[in-house]
Amino acid sequence: MPGVASPAAEISPIHMLPPNQKPVCNVSICNRTRASGVSMRIEGSLAATRITRERDGTEYAQSTIPRVKLEYQPRRSFFLRLVTEYRFEQRDALYDPVTGWPLFSGGDPISGQESNGLRADVLVSFEPTPGTVAFFGYGASLAKDPLLYMTPGYTRTTDGFFVKLAYVFRK
């Protein structure tokens, strides 16, 4: 049986944003292939937002988040998912909205910040019989923020494990 590929692309508008927050881009691309009972799906998305100051229209903050999701199902009873996301956020220094003068904290002006982060999640599902299922997952976050971590590279900030076991008792 030949494989079936179904590519799709979608650009979604973001509703109910404040007037000074403008969506730059929100794109989702998906490609699903199924051949001989094996399913593989690759999905990518990009969300970008820019916030401007009402006073003069200058950029206050921006956020860019590309995301890739890979799903692989070689048979009905086994499923694997990998999700990775890179987050880039930037914020300008804080200023008084009326006077335009810098805001201070502890005698120092509150400067701008930039942060980069990487998140990866893996989920494995095994269902040997209907009603019996096991899920195993792992997720890790890495950050590149010299203001907080004083390192030039990425630093692991969080880890998480996930286990779910289910069994249906039958009479």
Residue 2 phi, psi (nearest 5) = -70, 155
Q: Tell me the whole-structure pTM to 2 decimals.
A: 0.71
Domain ranges of the chain: 4-166
Distance between CA atoms of residues 67 and 44, nearest Å: 6
Query: What does each of the 171 residues of the chain score in pLDDT, given as a tens digit?
Result: 344 555 555 555 444 455 555 555 556 666 666 666 788 888 888 888 888 887 788 888 898 889 999 999 998 899 999 999 999 899 988 888 888 888 888 888 888 888 888 999 999 999 998 889 999 999 999 887 655 555 567 888 899 999 999 998 877
Cα separation, 16 vs 18, whole angstroms: 7
Distances (CA, A) of 55 to 20, 51, 98, 104, 161: 10, 12, 8, 19, 46
What integer pLDDT is reported at residue 163 of this predicted model? 96
Three-state DSSP at 149 gives helix
DSSP letter, residue 11? E
CA 56 to chain CA centroid, nearest Å: 31
Q: What is the largest CA-CA distance in the chain?
A: 75
Which residues of the chain form beta strands (DSSP E)? 4-11, 21-35, 38-52, 59-75, 78-91, 104-105, 108-109, 113-129, 132-144, 155-166
Query: Which residues are within 8 A (CB) of 15 and not within 5 positions of it... i.e. 6 or more apart?
Result: none
Close Cβ partners of 108 (under 8 Å, ≥ 6 residues apart)? none
- The CA angle 92-100-98, to the nearest 5 degrees, is 120
100, 83 Cβ separation under 8 angstroms: no
